[in-house]
Amino acid sequence: MTVEKEGTDTPYEIRKKIRAGEITGPTAGMCPGYAQANLVVLPQKYAFDFLLFSVRNMRSCPILEVTNPGGRKLRHLGYDADVATDIPKYRIYENGKMTGEYTDVIGFWRDDLVSFLIGCSFSFEEELIQSGIEVRHITEHRNVPMYITDIPNEPAGIFGGTMVVSMRPIPCPLIPKAVAVTALMPKVHGAPIQIGHPEMIGIRDIGKPDFGDAVSIYDGEEPVFWPCGVTPQEALMNSGVPFAITHSPGHMFITDIRNAELK
Amino acid sequence: MTVEKEGTDTPYEIRKKIRAGEITGPTAGMCPGYAQANLVVLPQKYAFDFLLFSVRNMRSCPILEVTNPGGRKLRHLGYDADVATDIPKYRIYENGKMTGEYTDVIGFWRDDLVSFLIGCSFSFEEELIQSGIEVRHITEHRNVPMYITDIPNEPAGIFGGTMVVSMRPIPCPLIPKAVAVTALMPKVHGAPIQIGHPEMIGIRDIGKPDFGDAVSIYDGEEPVFWPCGVTPQEALMNSGVPFAITHSPGHMFITDIRNAELK
């Protein structure tokens, strides 16, 4: 299959290829215009705490859909989708430690599992680019730089920790536009949480992100920080929850929802 | 205590008077500028379903805060507040039926109770009035008219049913402004769900609301319908849940949050 062909496939068609094992790599750039989502799957015993954590920390953990316990179907995000097969790569966590990566998780499925689909900054990056704002890590073909801050999450049950942020350097004259564009998309993290002062949120070295890759910051630019969907994943791992499934980084669920619908 | 004095008291001071039993009536008009909230209290066993119902039906059930199980304190909405004492009148429901009204619910409190504070249209009505839009039921000193629609809620566990809406007649030239003002307040129900066509959402007689009072609709006006916080209360009652506490209609929790902060 060629890249051109992928570009013209619908999310439904791409998900079928993922389910068939024909696509097992990262989803970046697939189905332009359509939102991609993070996945967290937990036993129902922990689902109330995690849902409450999400509601209390909506900026970093914007819920797009939650399944019924045991259910693998979605009602809104994907026609005929199956959360246990339609992501290219999954991770299994046991007692907070990753124990394996799999192209489907049918063999791990249980009747008490609840799936959370969580908004992703891919959606607002497309809006930024269409607004004439360069997204540096895309230009430089790197992963977005992410940093663990000292901004406390509001805890819920076993989930706590601090906020993880993603960073994009923005030329100073364009910062108001970058804020305005993303503020209109609260389901995919919304407005920045910090502009230009990493030290104020506990980031010591902008050149050494905790996740992803460092990117160039040029004269006349400021680093701008947005709440990041890695926050709930960090909280999940640090909780030591006995069993969880997530997507593997970069291997997202491709939804039927256009980014523009998330405004 | 005089009305003038109430008008100058802070929400904290009013809540202390409510706790002391000095105020037991409706809260309409108290602490202008500050948001008031609906209350639903449920055993933890049903809290996941109800929180999921709220997340799935955020338009009618916008969550402002959820307590930890057993907790009576709030973290954001009210300094030193106690959800079991700081509302003028509570209702107890057993198996879906109201079994009594009380000025506090300390005697009913249990370690497994979770409290949900839910946004209220009082907040956007103030914005409408400040934008030069008359709110008819306020002018006519009536309760807002509310109607049960045929718009299905997205069910979650034992909670389902259809959406309840509130109605305000708006002069046609002001409808766009009424939409724009309320659309900016998603935590208090947001934009209207229907404009001018009650029959399209299953309302047969605009003169006979299911809750509240009918109001005048003049020539050149259209009835405008907003998602209403009675929706979760209806879902609660219809679920037949063994035990629940709510505020008594019109007897709300007065928060420390200004309406303008809910934008």
Mean predicted confidence (pLDDT) in A13-27: 95
Mean predicted confidence (pLDDT) in B34-60: 96
**Given pLDDT bands bounded at 50, 70 and 90, which one contains residue A7?**
low
Cβ contact A55–B51 (<8 Å): yes
Q: Which residue has the tokens 């849940």?
A: B241
Strands (E), chain B: 34-43, 63-66, 90-94, 97-102, 113-118, 146-152, 162-171, 194-195, 221-227, 243-247, 253-258
Helix ranges, B57-141 (H): 122-130, 136-139
Q: Do B122 and B254 form a contact (C-beta atoms < 8 A)? A: no
pLDDT for residue A5 is more than 70: no
Mean predicted confidence (pLDDT) in B6-30: 89
> Using a CB-CB distance cutoff of 8 angstroms, which residues of chain B are in contact with residue A66?
52, 55-56
Cβ contact B55–A51 (<8 Å): yes
Q: Using CA atoms, how far apart are residues B13 and B190, in angstroms rounded to an integer? A: 29
> Using a CB-CB distance cutoff of 8 angstroms, which residues of chain A are in contact with residue B63?
55
Q: Do B253 and B247 form a contact (C-beta atoms < 8 A)? A: yes
> Using a CB-CB distance cutoff of 8 angstroms, which residues of chain B are in contact with residue A186?
186
Burial of residue B218, with CB atoms counted within 10 A of its CB: 0-12 exposed, 13-18 middle, 19 or more buried = exposed
Dump pLDDT digits (tens) for B189-207.
Answer: 999 999 999 999 999 999 9
Q: Do A247 and A90 form a contact (C-beta atoms < 8 A)? A: yes
The residue of chain B nearest to residue A75, with distances taken between CA atoms, is: B154
Q: Which of A46, A52, A57 to mutate to test the interface with B (most CBs of B within 10 A)?
A: A52
Burial of residue A195, with CB atoms counted within 10 A of its CB: 0-12 exposed, 13-18 middle, 19 or more buried = middle
* Among candidates B47, B63, B75 on the partner chain, residue whose Cβ is nearest the Cβ of A48: B47
Q: Using CA atoms, how far apart are residues B238 and B243, in angstroms rounded to an integer? A: 12
Mean predicted confidence (pLDDT) in B61-89: 96
A137 three-state secondary structure:
helix
Dump pLDDT digits (tens) for A162-207.
Answer: 999 999 999 999 999 999 999 989 889 999 999 999 999 999 999 9
The residue of chain A nearest to residue B57, with distances taken between CA atoms, is: A65
The residue of chain B nearest to residue A154, with distances taken between CA atoms, is: B75
* Among candidates B44, B48, B68 on the partner chain, residue whose Cβ is nearest the Cβ of A47: B48
Q: Using CA atoms, how far apart are residues B239 and B245, in angstroms rounded to an integer? A: 14
B44 at A interface, C-beta within 8 A? yes
- In the stretch 57-86 of chain A, residues with CB closer than 8 A to chain B read 63, 66, 68, 75
Mean residue pLDDT across chain B: 93
pLDDT for residue A235 is more than 50: yes
Task: Output the pLDDT for position B216.
Answer: 97
Dump pLDDT digits (tens) for B20-40.
Answer: 999 999 898 899 899 999 999
pLDDT for residue A250 is more than 90: no
CA distances from A19 to A14, A80, A104, B170 (A): 9, 11, 8, 51
DSSP state of B69: T
Q: Using CA atoms, how far apart are residues B51 and B64, in angstroms rounded to an integer? A: 12
Q: Provide long-range contacts, Cβ within 8 A and 24+ apart, for A18-24.
A: A18/A85, A18/A86, A18/A87, A18/A88, A18/A254, A19/A82, A19/A85, A19/A86, A19/A104, A21/A103, A23/A88, A24/A88, A24/A89, A24/A103
pLDDT for residue B7 is more than 90: no
> Using a CB-CB distance cutoff of 8 angstroms, which residues of chain A are in contact with residue B44?
48
Nearest to B123 by CA among B77, B186, B214, B176: B186
Nearest to B154 by CA among B29, B49, B37: B49
B65 three-state secondary structure:
strand
Dump pLDDT digits (tens) for B157-185.
Answer: 999 999 999 999 999 999 999 999 999 89
Mean predicted confidence (pLDDT) in A5-24: 87
Two tokens, residue B205: 């007689």
Task: Output the pLDDT for position B2.
Answer: 38
The residue of chain A nearest to residue B63, with distances taken between CA atoms, is: A55
Cα distance from A222 to chain B (closest Cα, Å)?
27
Dump pLDDT digits (tens) for B104-163.
Answer: 999 999 999 999 999 998 889 989 999 999 999 999 999 899 999 999 999 999 999 999
Mean predicted confidence (pLDDT) in A153-167: 96
Dump pLDDT digits (tens) for B97-114.
Answer: 999 999 999 999 999 999
pLDDT for residue A79 is more than 80: yes
DSSP state of B211: B
**For the whole model, what pTM was predicted?**
0.88
Task: Output the pLDDT for position B263.
Answer: 79
The residue of chain B nearest to residue A69, with distances taken between CA atoms, is: B157
Q: Using CA atoms, how far apart are residues B10 and B43, in angstroms rounded to an integer? A: 31
B191: left (phi over 0), alpha (psi -120 to 50) or beta: beta
Mean predicted confidence (pLDDT) in A12-39: 93
**Given pLDDT bands bounded at 50, 70 and 90, which one contains residue A123?**
confident
Task: Output the pLDDT for position A249.
Answer: 85
> Using a CB-CB distance cutoff of 8 angstroms, which residues of chain B are in contact with residue A47?
48
pLDDT for residue A54 is more than 90: yes
Two tokens, residue A114: 């609840």
Mean predicted confidence (pLDDT) in B6-16: 85
pLDDT for residue B226 is more than 80: yes
